[in-house]
Protein backbone atom coordinates (compact mmCIF):
# COMPACT_ATOMS: atom_id res chain seq x y z
CA UNK A 1 0.00 0.00 0.00
CA UNK A 2 2.84 2.34 0.92
CA UNK A 3 4.73 1.60 -2.29
CA UNK A 4 2.18 3.13 -4.68
CA UNK A 5 1.66 6.07 -2.34
CA UNK A 6 5.39 6.83 -2.18
CA UNK A 7 5.54 6.74 -5.95
CA UNK A 8 2.70 9.25 -6.16
CA UNK A 9 4.46 12.57 -6.56
CA UNK A 10 1.38 14.52 -5.44
CA UNK A 11 1.16 12.55 -2.20
CA UNK A 12 4.88 12.91 -1.51
CA UNK A 13 4.80 16.60 -2.39
CA UNK A 14 1.82 17.40 -0.16
CA UNK A 15 3.16 15.43 2.83
CA UNK A 16 6.64 16.88 2.38
CA UNK A 17 5.28 20.39 2.04
CA UNK A 18 3.19 20.00 5.17
CA UNK A 19 6.19 18.69 7.08
CA UNK A 20 8.39 21.59 5.95
CA UNK A 21 5.65 24.07 6.88
CA UNK A 22 5.43 22.45 10.32
CA UNK A 23 9.19 22.72 10.82
CA UNK A 24 9.17 26.34 9.67
CA UNK A 25 6.26 27.20 12.00
CA UNK A 26 8.00 25.58 14.97
CA UNK A 27 11.18 27.49 14.21
CA UNK A 28 9.35 30.81 13.98
CA UNK A 29 7.11 30.23 17.01
CA UNK A 30 9.54 28.60 19.37
CA UNK A 31 12.92 30.04 18.35
CA UNK A 32 12.85 33.13 16.16
CA UNK A 33 10.04 35.16 17.76
CA UNK A 34 11.02 34.37 21.39
CA UNK A 35 14.66 35.20 20.61
CA UNK A 36 13.60 38.60 19.27
CA UNK A 37 12.29 39.54 22.72
CA UNK A 38 14.44 41.80 24.88
CA UNK A 39 13.35 39.98 28.01
CA UNK A 40 16.21 38.07 29.59
CA UNK A 41 13.81 35.19 30.13
CA UNK A 42 14.07 34.37 26.42
CA UNK A 43 17.83 34.56 26.09
CA UNK A 44 19.36 31.35 24.85
CA UNK A 45 17.91 28.69 22.55
CA UNK A 46 16.68 26.37 25.31
CA UNK A 47 15.12 29.21 27.30
CA UNK A 48 13.40 30.47 24.15
CA UNK A 49 11.87 27.08 23.41
CA UNK A 50 10.77 26.41 27.00
CA UNK A 51 9.39 29.91 27.48
CA UNK A 52 7.44 29.77 24.22
CA UNK A 53 6.05 26.37 25.23
CA UNK A 54 4.96 27.75 28.60
CA UNK A 55 7.24 25.52 30.64
CA UNK A 56 7.58 26.72 34.26
CA UNK A 57 10.92 28.31 34.93
CA UNK A 58 11.61 25.76 37.64
CA UNK A 59 11.75 23.11 34.90
CA UNK A 60 14.57 24.86 33.10
CA UNK A 61 17.09 24.47 35.84
CA UNK A 62 16.62 24.16 39.60
CA UNK A 63 19.71 26.28 40.09
CA UNK A 64 18.85 29.04 37.61
CA UNK A 65 19.55 32.47 38.99
CA UNK A 66 16.61 34.89 39.13
CA UNK A 67 16.20 36.84 35.93
CA UNK A 68 17.22 40.45 36.39
CA UNK A 69 15.29 42.90 34.22
CA UNK A 70 17.58 44.91 31.94
CA UNK A 71 16.08 48.15 33.30
CA UNK A 72 14.42 49.19 36.54
CA UNK A 73 10.75 48.23 36.71
CA UNK A 74 8.05 49.38 39.07
CA UNK A 75 7.98 47.41 42.31
CA UNK A 76 4.89 49.13 43.68
CA UNK A 77 2.10 46.76 44.64
CA UNK A 78 -1.21 48.49 45.21
CA UNK A 79 -4.36 47.17 46.78
CA UNK A 80 -7.57 49.08 47.52
CA UNK A 81 -6.41 49.47 51.14
CA UNK A 82 -2.74 50.24 50.56
CA UNK A 83 -3.12 53.88 51.60
CA UNK A 84 -5.81 53.23 54.20
CA UNK A 85 -3.76 51.41 56.80
CA UNK A 86 -4.29 53.18 60.16
CA UNK A 87 -0.63 53.03 61.15
CA UNK A 88 0.56 54.67 57.96
CA UNK A 89 -2.39 56.66 56.67
CA UNK A 90 -1.46 59.86 54.91
CA UNK A 91 -1.56 63.14 56.78
CA UNK A 92 -2.97 65.96 54.65
CA UNK A 93 -1.50 68.74 56.80
CA UNK A 94 1.96 67.25 56.82
CA UNK A 95 1.67 66.61 53.10
CA UNK A 96 0.87 70.30 52.53
CA UNK A 97 4.13 71.24 54.25
CA UNK A 98 6.12 68.75 52.20
CA UNK A 99 4.46 70.02 49.03
CA UNK A 100 6.04 73.46 49.42
CA UNK A 101 9.02 72.10 47.50
CA UNK A 102 6.75 71.14 44.62
CA UNK A 103 5.01 74.47 44.02
CA UNK A 104 7.44 75.81 41.44
CA UNK A 105 6.39 73.13 38.93
CA UNK A 106 3.00 71.92 40.16
CA UNK A 107 1.53 75.20 41.36
CA UNK A 108 0.56 76.45 44.81
CA UNK A 109 -2.59 74.33 44.83
CA UNK A 110 -1.56 71.49 42.55
CA UNK A 111 -2.56 73.21 39.29
CA UNK A 112 0.36 73.72 36.97
CA UNK A 113 0.87 76.77 34.79
CA UNK A 114 3.53 74.98 32.76
CA UNK A 115 3.81 71.62 31.03
CA UNK A 116 3.96 69.63 34.26
CA UNK A 117 1.03 67.53 35.44
CA UNK A 118 -1.82 68.91 37.51
CA UNK A 119 -1.96 67.06 40.81
CA UNK A 120 -4.98 68.67 42.49
CA UNK A 121 -7.63 66.01 42.99
CA UNK A 122 -5.51 63.29 41.41
CA UNK A 123 -6.00 59.81 42.84
CA UNK A 124 -3.73 59.32 45.85
CA UNK A 125 -2.81 55.82 44.68
CA UNK A 126 -1.62 57.18 41.33
CA UNK A 127 0.52 59.92 42.91
CA UNK A 128 1.99 57.47 45.41
CA UNK A 129 2.94 54.97 42.69
CA UNK A 130 4.63 57.59 40.53
CA UNK A 131 6.55 59.03 43.50
CA UNK A 132 7.76 55.56 44.43
CA UNK A 133 8.80 54.94 40.82
CA UNK A 134 10.69 58.23 40.68
CA UNK A 135 12.40 57.26 43.92
CA UNK A 136 13.37 53.75 42.81
CA UNK A 137 14.49 54.80 39.32
CA UNK A 138 11.73 52.88 37.58
CA UNK A 139 10.69 56.23 36.14
CA UNK A 140 13.96 58.16 35.75
CA UNK A 141 13.75 61.94 35.98
CA UNK A 142 16.57 64.43 36.42
CA UNK A 143 14.13 66.73 38.24
CA UNK A 144 11.88 64.44 40.27
CA UNK A 145 14.32 61.78 41.41
CA UNK A 146 16.59 64.16 43.40
CA UNK A 147 13.52 65.72 45.03
CA UNK A 148 12.06 62.47 46.32
CA UNK A 149 15.09 60.23 46.77
CA UNK A 150 15.43 60.94 50.49
CA UNK A 151 11.74 61.05 51.36
CA UNK A 152 10.35 58.29 53.57
CA UNK A 153 7.44 56.10 52.58
CA UNK A 154 5.27 58.06 55.00
CA UNK A 155 6.34 61.31 53.30
CA UNK A 156 5.16 59.95 49.97
CA UNK A 157 1.85 58.85 51.48
CA UNK A 158 1.31 62.29 53.03
CA UNK A 159 2.10 64.08 49.78
CA UNK A 160 -0.32 61.80 47.95
CA UNK A 161 -3.05 62.43 50.51
CA UNK A 162 -2.55 66.19 50.33
CA UNK A 163 -2.80 66.49 46.55
CA UNK A 164 -5.74 64.09 46.43
CA UNK A 165 -7.57 66.34 48.91
CA UNK A 166 -7.32 69.45 46.72
CA UNK A 167 -10.26 70.41 44.50
CA UNK A 168 -9.88 69.05 41.03
CA UNK A 169 -9.73 71.57 38.24
CA UNK A 170 -12.84 71.47 36.08
CA UNK A 171 -12.40 71.31 32.35
CA UNK A 172 -14.08 74.15 30.46
CA UNK A 173 -16.72 72.71 28.20
CA UNK A 174 -16.89 69.34 29.95
CA UNK A 175 -15.14 66.41 28.33
CA UNK A 176 -18.20 64.66 27.03
CA UNK A 177 -17.41 61.03 26.26
CA UNK A 178 -19.89 61.08 23.41
CA UNK A 179 -17.82 63.81 21.79
CA UNK A 180 -14.59 61.89 22.34
CA UNK A 181 -12.60 60.55 19.39
CA UNK A 182 -13.01 56.86 18.62
CA UNK A 183 -9.63 55.96 20.10
CA UNK A 184 -10.80 57.31 23.50
CA UNK A 185 -14.39 56.08 23.43
CA UNK A 186 -14.04 52.67 21.82
CA UNK A 187 -10.34 52.08 21.24
CA UNK A 188 -9.26 49.81 18.40
CA UNK A 189 -9.95 46.20 19.47
CA UNK A 190 -8.43 44.71 16.31
CA UNK A 191 -5.10 46.29 17.31
CA UNK A 192 -5.40 45.46 21.02
CA UNK A 193 -6.12 49.08 21.97
CA UNK A 194 -8.80 49.37 24.66
CA UNK A 195 -10.73 52.61 25.06
CA UNK A 196 -8.72 55.09 27.15
CA UNK A 197 -11.78 55.73 29.28
CA UNK A 198 -11.83 52.14 30.50
CA UNK A 199 -8.80 52.84 32.72
CA UNK A 200 -8.49 56.62 32.93
CA UNK A 201 -12.06 57.51 33.87
CA UNK A 202 -15.32 58.30 32.07
CA UNK A 203 -16.00 54.59 31.54
CA UNK A 204 -14.08 53.13 34.47
CA UNK A 205 -10.93 53.74 36.49
CA UNK A 206 -8.24 51.32 37.56
CA UNK A 207 -6.29 51.37 40.80
CA UNK A 208 -3.10 53.41 40.46
CA UNK A 209 -4.06 54.77 37.05
CA UNK A 210 -4.33 58.58 36.82
CA UNK A 211 -7.21 60.57 35.46
CA UNK A 212 -6.00 62.54 32.46
CA UNK A 213 -8.24 65.55 32.05
CA UNK A 214 -7.31 68.26 32.15
CA UNK A 215 -3.58 67.77 31.86
CA UNK A 216 -1.18 69.87 29.76
CA UNK A 217 -1.18 68.74 26.14
CA UNK A 218 2.60 68.65 25.71
CA UNK A 219 2.99 66.60 28.87
CA UNK A 220 0.41 64.04 27.75
CA UNK A 221 1.91 63.73 24.28
CA UNK A 222 5.45 63.41 25.61
CA UNK A 223 4.45 60.62 27.97
CA UNK A 224 2.36 58.76 25.41
CA UNK A 225 5.20 58.87 22.89
CA UNK A 226 7.64 57.77 25.58
CA UNK A 227 5.49 54.69 26.18
CA UNK A 228 5.25 54.11 22.42
CA UNK A 229 9.04 54.27 22.01
CA UNK A 230 9.70 52.26 25.16
CA UNK A 231 11.66 55.03 26.88
CA UNK A 232 9.15 55.11 29.74
CA UNK A 233 8.81 51.67 31.28
CA UNK A 234 7.18 51.96 34.69
CA UNK A 235 3.75 50.80 33.49
CA UNK A 236 2.59 47.60 35.12
CA UNK A 237 2.97 44.58 32.84
CA UNK A 238 3.96 46.93 29.97
CA UNK A 239 0.29 47.68 29.46
CA UNK A 240 0.72 51.26 28.24
CA UNK A 241 3.70 50.37 26.05
CA UNK A 242 1.67 47.66 24.33
CA UNK A 243 -1.16 50.11 23.72
CA UNK A 244 0.80 53.21 22.72
CA UNK A 245 3.03 51.53 20.17
CA UNK A 246 -0.04 50.34 18.30
CA UNK A 247 -1.48 53.84 18.08
CA UNK A 248 -0.97 55.99 15.01
CA UNK A 249 0.40 59.55 15.34
CA UNK A 250 -3.08 60.81 14.48
CA UNK A 251 -4.64 58.75 17.27
CA UNK A 252 -2.06 60.02 19.74
CA UNK A 253 -2.84 63.59 18.75
CA UNK A 254 -6.58 62.97 18.96
CA UNK A 255 -6.37 61.47 22.45
CA UNK A 256 -4.09 64.17 23.91
CA UNK A 257 -6.22 66.91 22.34
CA UNK A 258 -9.30 65.42 23.97
CA UNK A 259 -7.80 65.00 27.43
CA UNK A 260 -6.04 68.37 27.39
CA UNK A 261 -9.20 70.12 26.24
CA UNK A 262 -7.57 71.54 23.13
CA UNK A 263 -9.69 69.80 20.56
Top CATH class of 177-260 equals: mainly alpha
What is d(CA 65, CA 61) in angstroms, rounded to the nearest whole number?
9
What is d(CA 103, CA 20) in angstroms, rounded to the nearest whole number?
65
- pLDDT for position 33: 75
- pLDDT for position 180: 87
pTM for this predicted structure? 0.74
Q: Is domain 89-165 in CATH 1.10.760.10, yes or no? A: yes
What is d(CA 239, CA 181) in angstroms, rounded to the nearest whole number?
21
> pLDDT tens digits for 71-90?
888 889 888 888 876 545 56
Residue of 177 and 135 predicted with greater confidence: 135
The ranges assigned to domains in the chain are 13-59, 89-165, 177-260
Domains 89-165 and 177-260 share a fold: yes
- pLDDT for position 241: 95
- pLDDT for position 112: 87
> What is the residue-wise DSSP string for 57-115?
HHHH-TTPPPPPPSS--------TTTTT-TTT---HHHHHHHGGGGHHHH-TTS--SSS
> pLDDT tens digits for 93-139?
999 999 999 999 999 999 988 889 999 999 999 999 999 999 999 99
Amino acid sequence: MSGPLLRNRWFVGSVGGTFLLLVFSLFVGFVWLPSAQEDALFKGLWNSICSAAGAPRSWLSPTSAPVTPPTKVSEVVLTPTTLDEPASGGGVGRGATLALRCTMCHGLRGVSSSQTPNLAGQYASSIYKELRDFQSGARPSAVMTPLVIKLSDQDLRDLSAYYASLPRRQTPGAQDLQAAPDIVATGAPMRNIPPCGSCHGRLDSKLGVPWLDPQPRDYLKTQLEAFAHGTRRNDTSAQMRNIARNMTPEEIDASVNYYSGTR
